[in-house]
């Protein structure tokens, strides 16, 4: 058992080294090996520290200028599902923000290809929103995640208006003290939601009551 901390330290250092090495010159063959390694390191039976570092390593690989979407797609379902599970398991607010930022970045990188897999996150975020009433920075991350989801889902995002519109209203209400933190992200979400709506519904129109106080 004394070898366990050393083993975890080495594994974490390897993941960090991969993150730093990606942007130098990573062959397509090795890129696929890293996708497989991340799958293994994100599994639930792995140490939490390793899982968190694996999520950050994945973000570094996705952020590489040589990232090829087509070769990554076979691993999308596995990575996304494991990241969603990790988001649900971690309890610390800052840690949730980090994992959610990786999920948001992943959604942004694969765009419409996330549609078949995104339901589990979309269903969890309203619950997380309710649980994060005292954590405005986490709520900012939730708003950002939904921004990327709406962009990826396009017109299909109308299915989430029942949650999105109250969040937009809350985030852009000048009388709400939390708007100091949420306003910018809330306006971005409002904009992308309107752009991808099939009609200007009454609920969307009611959001415009927030405009005059903001302009004032």
- Per-residue pLDDT of 108-148, as tens digits, reads 999 999 999 988 899 999 999 999 999 999 999 999 999 99
Residue carrying structure tokens 């992308």: 192
Confidence of residue 166 (pLDDT cuts 50, 70, 90): very high
Do 80 and 117 contact (CB within 8 A), yes or no?
Answer: yes
53-59 mean pLDDT: 96
How deeply is 208 buried, as exposed, middle or buried, from its count of CB atoms within 10 A (0-12, 13-18, 19+)?
exposed
- Compute how many other C-beta atoms are within 10 angstroms of the C-beta atom of residue 33: 12
Report which of 213, 150, 149, 206 is spatially closest to residue 183, judged by C-alpha positions.
Answer: 213
Residue 4 has pLDDT above 60, yes or no: no
Residue 187 has pLDDT above 70, yes or no: yes
98 Cβ neighbours under 8 A, 6+ residues apart? 52, 55, 56
Least confident span in 3-12, 40-49, 54-63: 3-12
Residue 2: predicted pLDDT = 45
Residue 127: predicted pLDDT = 95
């Amino acid at each position: 058992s004394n070898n366990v901390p050393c083993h975890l330290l080495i594994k974490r250092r390897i993941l960090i080294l991969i993150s730093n090495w990606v942007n130098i010159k990573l062959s397509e063959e090795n890129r696929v090996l890293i996708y497989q390694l991340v799958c293994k390191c994100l599994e639930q039976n792995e140490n939490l520290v390793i899982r968190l570092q694996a999520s950050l390593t994945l973000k570094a690989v996705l952020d590489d200028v040589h990232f090829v979407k087509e070769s990554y797609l076979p691993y999308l379902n596995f990575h996304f599902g494991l990241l969603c599970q990790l988001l649900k398991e971690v309890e610390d607010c800052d840690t949730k923000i980090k994992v959610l930022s990786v999920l948001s970045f992943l959604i942004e990188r694969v765009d419409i290809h996330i549609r078949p897999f995104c339901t589990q996150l979309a269903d969890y975020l309203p619950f997380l929103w309710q649980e994060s009433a005292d954590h405005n920075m986490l709520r900012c991350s939730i708003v950002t995640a939904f921004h990327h989801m709406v962009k990826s889902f396009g017109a299909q995002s109308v299915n989430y208006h029942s949650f999105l519109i109250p969040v937009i209203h809350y985030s852009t209400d000048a009388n709400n003290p939390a708007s100091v933190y949420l306003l910018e992200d809330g306006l971005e979400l409002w904009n992308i939601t309107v752009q991808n709506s099939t009609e200007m519904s009454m609920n969307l129109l009611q959001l415009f009551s927030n405009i005059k106080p903001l302009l004032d």
